Each structure stands twice: as structure tokens, then as C-alpha cells.
Amino acid sequence: MRFGSHSHADRNQRDAKVNAEHDRLVTTLRGLADRIERVNVDQLGDGLVSIAAAVDPLVRAVERALGRQK
């Protein structure tokens, strides 16, 4: 086996895993957003504040990661 072909195969496998995780994360977050939108804000109460506080670091981390891909 040539070194270049092994490296190319590894890169393709890694890219496929990253793409699958990307798609899974996007689907999960869209589903969560849809569920949150359907719930009456009065029913969420303090839970919504906790959720928002927990999401902020995630949003910043994703924005930093996306910023590196420009």
C-alpha cells in the first residue's frame, strides 16, 4: 500500500465521520429548537433561564469553531 493512498483513505474516513456528526448535531438542535418553540413560555418558567444560560457557552464555542473555518 502506498503511503499517500492510506493517508487519503484516512482523511476520507475522518471527513465522513465529521460530516455525520455535523448532520446529527444540526438535526438534534433543530429538533430541540422546534420543541422549545411549541412550549408556552409560561410553562417553561425558570427552566428556560437555565437552558439559555447553558446554551450560551455552546453557542460561543460553535461560533469560534466556525470562525476558524472562514
- In order along its 70 residues, the chain shows pLDDT tens digits of 455 556 888 999 999 999 999 999 899 989 988 988 888 878 777 788 888 888 899 889 989 988 876 5
2, amino acid identity: R
- Whether 41 and 48 have beta carbons less than 8 Å apart is answered as yes
Question: Full-prediction pTM beyond 0.75?
Answer: no
